[in-house]
Amino acid sequence: MTAIRHGRHRFLAAAILPGLALYAVFVLSPYAQAFYLALTDWSGVSGQVDYVGLANFRQLLSDPLFLAALRNNALMLLVVPAATIALGLLLATLVNFGGRGGSTMLSAVRGGEFYKTAYFFPQLLSLPIIAVLWQFVYHPNEGLLNGVLRAVGLDALARTWLGDPRLALWAVMAVLVWSSVGFYMVLFSAAMESIPRDVLEAAVLDGAGRLDTLRRVILPLVRDNVQVAFVYLGVLALDGFAVVQIMTVGPGGPDGSTEVIGLGLYRNAFTYGKFGYAAAMGVALFLLTLALAVVTMRAGRREPVELS
């Protein structure tokens, strides 16, 4: 038995250690290097690396462009997850429980699978492609959005969506929501489909209407999915680099109204050659993302719901 146990341990070690080694080299090692470079003034080209301590982080606190990016990312963190989750839950509820038939009066709508496929379609496109498409949609003269507004007689609502500092960031956030809501609609829909029908029937027999059933039965049972969705969408909101880089003037404009941390990181590293300062931005973004995940998971901690 001892020989069998040792043989099993050797097999597990042979299966796991190569993967761990690759993970350490290609994932953990770059993180460690980024933390080290954040304490230097490395230019990214020369072999000379001078240690500057926390000077890069002190500079972040007085950099107006970084502070503007921080404010923009904070607004995105408030709006993008909330809007995407709300729309995803609404669409999933309508598809799964918006029908008229069924013993519980909470049956799926006819053609629900088609709706899921249609809403999921943006996930088949990469984010840069979506950004390019929406750049044309927002075009002030030939764009689809202003064209539709003018066609229905709402010329006064036509705007230079990406050229107005008051609207540009909201236009970017709308693209992030549009590109993400289909995936989370399907995710929430799958969670709702796993709810036992007898639980819904019991709620209806107890006199609960559609709204009460949704609020007191369905939403508590998909809460874990919502929590995970918030973490992933929070990471998306704290990034936003690809959409801002492609869609906006500057990019990051006008007047820094769409500046995000990822864009400042890219600019400092590959335009200004300040890899040390850019690494400090990356470390700050990493810590913000980690804090978001920890706070969200701890805030949503609760006793599991048991269905009997």
> Considering the chain, what is the average pLDDT of its residues?
86
Report pLDDT for 302: 64
Q: Which pLDDT value is given to residue 282?
A: 93
- Complete DSSP assignment for 140-165: TTT-HHHHHHHHTT-GGG---TTT-T
Matching residue, tokens 């038995």? 1
Residue 129 token pair: 């492609």
Which residue type occupies 131? A
Residue 121 pLDDT: 87
Distance between CA atoms of residues 92 and 266, nearest Å: 37
Q: Which two tokens stand for residue 8?
A: 């099993």
Query: Cis ω on the peptide bond leading into residue 220 (within 30° of 0)?
Result: no
User: What pLDDT score was predicted for residue 81?
Assistant: 95
Task: Note the pLDDT of residue 62.
Answer: 92
304: three-class secondary structure by DSSP: coil
Three-state DSSP state, 234: helix
pLDDT at residue 148 in the model: 93
Its pTM surpasses 0.85: yes
Place of tokens 């890899």: 275
Confidence at residue 168, expressed as pLDDT on a 0 to 100 scale: 95
Q: What is the mean pLDDT of residues 91-106?
A: 70
Percent of the chain with pLDDT over 70: 90
List, for residues 195-250, the tens digit of each pLDDT value. Answer: 887 777 787 777 767 777 777 888 888 888 999 999 999 999 998 899 999 999 88
Residues paired with 40 in a beta bridge? 51
The encoded tokens of residue 239 equal 């990034």
Q: What pLDDT digit, counting tens, does each position of 138-183 carry?
A: 999 888 999 999 999 898 899 999 999 999 999 999 999 999 999 9
SS3 letters across 14-37: HHHHHHHHHHHHHHHHHHHHHHHH
96 compared with 4, residue with greater pLDDT: 96
